[in-house]
Amino acid sequence: MTIYQNIIGGNAVAGDMGTQPIYNPATGEQIAEVTLSSAAIVDQAVAAAQEALPGWANTPPLKRARVMFAYKELLEANLEKVAEAICTQHGKTLEDAKGEVIRGIEVVEFACGIPHLLRGDYTRNVGPAIDSYSDRQPLGVVAGITPFNFPAMVPMWMFPMAIACGNTFILKPSERDPAAPQLILELMQEAGLPAGVLNIVNGGKPAVDAILHHPSVKAVSFVGSTPIAEYVYQTGTANGKRVQALGGAKNHMVIMPDADMDQAVDALMGAGYGSAGERCMAISVAVPVGQDTADRLVEKLAPRVSGIKIGTWNDPDAEMGPLVTEQHKDKVLGYINKGVEEGANLVVDGRDFALQGYENGYFVGGTLFDHVTTDMTIYREEIFGPVVCVARADSFDQAVSMVNDHEYGNGTAIFTRDGDAARSYADQIQVGMVGVNVPIPVPVAYHSFGGWKRSLFGDHGAYGMEAVRFYTKLKTVTSRWPTGIRSGAQFNFPLNN
Ligand code: NAD
């Protein structure tokens, strides 16, 4: 059986804390194991990354970009293989997985522009015969800790830009689906990246804690659930590191009375149930404005939710697959039970769904609740499953307040034909990423990704120019060359006279 090892300095290195099983979510069968690592293994990875650092940091940006160009081509040539590595351990459908990889490749394409992105500023004559230039320099050894739901894309939000900026990198991927991270690292080595510039350490909390406490790790990027994001931010910053920690979400889609209801329902189906709801930008709450809008929405939505085609990743007709693990399935079922207990109206019940021939798989059917109120657990907490809650609002203002009062602020969308309503929504809403008639407004690679409130701890979002700022530190050099000017010792603050 395959055991996913660590990759340190280009070599496979076993962990020292045993292994953890990896399952096929469609069958419930164990298909592999992943090694688990302690602080001693993290030390080895940091040492390898530090050894590689001077050479890589001093490699001209154009040469670093050439590695990115080669990497992009290798990823494209291996798209199907990377997507299959995702599917077999995560469970999402093949087309969905390919989409994930393509969005990751787009960040690599952005990283190809690093010579231009790192170009500094220069001013001649900031004073008499004095010139000044600003430059962005790499931080050193940096680390990324990533979740199970995008095992290729989220690591690619991080390491291509970190490495292009001249840092060396340690990736601690999710221990639930290690195949894709390993494959994309191998392709990076094939692209010509020197050994030690990118390393993988597999493991759980002990490996994360070792990264957070290691004095030579200068910055940590984290993506995962909010409690762990907050812990990573607090622990990492207390240890003097720069940290960006992206957390969980509860994304609302507001549907105005004038919205094109067919378009809104199509959007809600894909954004709510695609990838079985295991997306941080999934729409998990629909907020129709007005009772009539709500009735029309639920009437159109319910048959669509009951009719979702559920299947294994390689079934070309499947619209969604299973959840990632049995524990996660139990958690999602627990939320559905809680919703019923707390009095929400269960319009479509996915709890008893079983796929013929795959009865041990971690499948949950599409589920729809109506008349969900803001005090209910299923409204307040992230479910991360194929469950959409309809929470009715009486007015636009009430819809805005609901979204703004929620602890999360990752993504949101408004569906309307009214430009004033759309503009006012985008202005007022306390959420980092807003869609107008766009259900999953994930910014493209040359913008940046990031939520507000308890969906992001730290000052910088992921990829785009935010990544250049996060993975570099600014240096400004002011220089004077001997010109025969002698002004004598100056004890006052230097002025530009
Ligand atoms: P998770 O928080 O359980 O795990 C994320 C990472 O943290 C993993 O690498 C894991 O090994 C590590 N980890 C887990 N428990 C830990 C602990 N106690 N101490 C230290 N490290 C620990 O998240 P997940 O279940 O893998 O992923 C789903 C979550 O990620 C959802 O909440 C989702 O919203 C969020 N997510 C957010 C974004 C975003 O951009 N905001 C993107 C994708 C996923």
Say if 446 falls within a structural domain: no
Tens of pLDDT, residue by residue over 387-436, are 999 999 999 999 999 999 999 999 999 999 999 999 999 999 999 999 99
b/e code 110-149 from CB counts within 10 Å (16+ = b): bbbebeebbeeeeeeeeeeebeeeeebebbbbbbbbbbbb
User: What domain range is 463 assigned to?
Assistant: 2-247+455-477
294 and 360: one domain? yes
Q: What's the Rg (C-alpha) of the chain? A: 25
pLDDT value at 257 more than 90: yes
372 alpha carbon – ligand 1 mean position (Å): 26
Q: Is 283 left (phi over 0), alpha (psi -120 to 50) or beta?
A: beta
Say if 149 falls within a structural domain: yes
Q: Which numbered atom of ligand 1 lies nearest the CA of 150?
A: 43
Best residue among 148, 433, 453 to mutate for probing ligand 1's pocket (most ligand atoms within 8 Å of CB) is: 148
Q: Which numbered atom of ligand 1 lies nearest the CA of 148?
A: 26
Q: Whose CA is nearest to atom 18 of ligand 1?
A: 205
The C-alpha atoms of residue 272 and residue 269 are separated, in whole angstroms, by 5
Q: Strand 2-4 relative to strand 217-223: parallel, antiparallel, unpaired? A: unpaired
Tens of pLDDT, residue by residue over 464-477, are 999 999 999 999 99
pTM for the predicted model, two decimal places: 0.96
Tens of pLDDT, residue by residue over 34-90, are 999 999 999 999 999 999 999 999 999 999 999 999 999 999 999 999 999 999 999
| Active site residues per annotation | 280
Number of H helices, E strands in the chain: 16, 23
Is residue 108 lining ligand 1, measured as CB closer than 6 Å?
Answer: no
Is residue 384 lining ligand 1, measured as CB closer than 6 Å?
Answer: yes
183 and 304: one domain? no
Instruction: Give SS3 for 205.
Output: helix
Which class for 349: exposed (0-12), middle (13-18), buried (19 or more C-beta within 10 A)? middle
233 alpha carbon – ligand 1 mean position (Å): 13
Is residue 147 lining ligand 1, measured as CB closer than 6 Å?
Answer: yes
42 and 189: one domain? yes
CATH label of the domain that carries residue 207 = 3.40.605.10
146 alpha carbon – ligand 1 mean position (Å): 6
> Which pLDDT band, with edges at 50, 70 and 90, does 482 fall under?
confident
User: What average pLDDT does the segment 105-123 reach?
Assistant: 97
216 and 263: one domain? no
147 alpha carbon – ligand 1 mean position (Å): 4
177 and 227: one domain? yes
Q: Which numbered atom of ligand 1 lies nearest the CA of 209?
A: 20
> Which pLDDT band, with edges at 50, 70 and 90, does 489 fall under?
confident
Is residue 227 lining ligand 1, measured as CB closer than 6 Å?
Answer: no
237 and 271: one domain? no
